[in-house]
Each structure stands twice: as structure tokens, then as C-alpha cells.
Amino acid sequence: MSFLIPLIVKPLAYASLPLFVVQRIAVQRTPSSLRYYARLVIYVTTLFTVASCSFVAAVGMTILGRPYDTNHIVARMFYTIVHRALDLKVEIEGEEYLEAKPSVYMSNHQSMIDVLILGR
């Protein structure tokens, strides 16, 4: 069984190498336009990957009997990955008001960052 690990880990490491290079460009002192596009690539790639994996999360949460928590799990997963990859921090004013349940969160979709804020 241990012979499968190199068969999985090695291609995954090679496939993720370009993402590590782009991430280094995104956080280093590089020209602002290059840094912007590097961050955009990481953000959109993460958004696409998490959206693709959300089907698995939905099936798993349905099996566990918690189908309505799928959106929360997927949004938190996206925020965690982007927060660490791009070193973005979201500060929420009035967070104590978010404890009331049930609640409705609304976003005006003025930018792509709305997805990150709702994930937080």
C-alpha cells in the first residue's frame, strides 16, 4: 500500500509547483500589476477548486444528516484557503450581532471579494 503514496504525492507536487510560484509573486515585492494578476490567478483558481469540491461536501453533509450546513462548510473552506494563500485578513465590525440565529446575510456583489467576506 505504501507504493501508492509516491504515485499520488509526486504528481500532486509537480502540479502544484506553478501555484507556489504564483503565490510567491503575489506576496513578494514585485510590480503591482504583476502582483495583482498573480493574486487574481490564485483567487479564481481557489474559487474554481472549492466550487468543484463542493459537490463532495454536499454529499458528505447529506449523509451525515446536515444538508443545510453545506454552504457554511464550503464558504469557510474557501476563506481558509484564500486567507492563507494570499495573507488576506477580513475584519468584521459588529460581529456580536451575527450570533443571533436565524439570520440572513446579504451581499451586493460589487466585487469578487464578496465571496471571501461571506466566507468569513
Give the model confidence (pLDDT) of 99-112 as tens digits: 777 777 777 767 77
Domain hosting 109: range is 4-119
Query: Which one is predicted more confidently, 92 or 59?
Result: 59
Total-model pTM: 0.62
Counted domains in the chain:
1
DSSP 19-87: HHHHHHHHHSS--HHHHHHHHHHHHHHHHHHHHHHHHHHHHHHHHTT-GGGHHHHHHHHHHHHHHHHHT
